[in-house]
Amino acid sequence: MSATDLALFARILIGLTFAATVVGKLRDPASFGDAVDDFKIFVRRAVRPVATTLIVAEAAVCVLVALPGPGPVAGLGLAGVLLLAYTAALGTVLARRMTLGCNCFGASPRVVSRHDIARNVLLLCGAIGGLVAYVLAGPHHAYDAARLTLLAGTATAATLLLANFADVVETVRKPMSAE
């Protein structure tokens, strides 16, 4: 895979992942605000503005990675910063032995686990790898339809796997039952 391909793969992966998080959070923004409050990182009066800012920042990532020129550098960089912050927040929840929902992709009964941290680390690697590849490859790329389709399909599959990472890991780890 060339640097150009890696850069495009990362842009699609990060863009789709953050689009999924934005859509999930916008379905029930009050629930996301409650989740931010439950993490006990911010004073109560800051929770709603922080929750709103996070959703806006995630939406900005989606737009920036789709733009030509320097947009992807800003988008992948912003994604990296958000992923670092989210991973740190999830880590504090686990360290404090709190049982909370992540709400990473919207309201969910699934509680924060080490799988959420692993998913974020993988996404962070994707954002950093894509950023480095984009800088190395340069911003001007031409893709034929077949290559673009292959990269988009692969990035979409990776996004689906990462968005459901905890379920995928648990399914793989379950012993096969004899039926």
pTM, 2 dp: 0.89
Q: For the residues 116-131, what does the mean pLDDT come to?
A: 96
Q: Residue 169 has what pLDDT?
A: 85
Report the share of the chain in percent with pLDDT over 90: 68
* pLDDT at res. 179: 54
State the pLDDT at residue 142: 72
User: DSSP string spanning the chain?
Assistant: --HHHHHHHHHHHHHHHHHHHHHHHHHSHHHHHHHHHHTT-S-HHHHHHHHHHHHHHHHHHHHHHHSSTTHHHHHHHHHHHHHHHHHHHHHHHHHTT---B--BTBS-SPBP-HHHHHHHHHHHHHHHHHHHHHHHH-S-----HHHHHHHHHHHHHHHHHHHTHHHHHHHHHSPPPP-
CA-CA distance, 176 to 130, in Å (whole number)?
37
Whole-number pLDDT of residue 3? 87
pLDDT of residue 177: 59
Domain boundaries, the chain: 3-173
Percentage of the chain lying above the pLDDT 70 cut: 96
- pLDDT 10s digits, 50-107: 999 999 999 999 999 999 888 999 999 999 999 999 999 999 999 999 999 888 888 8
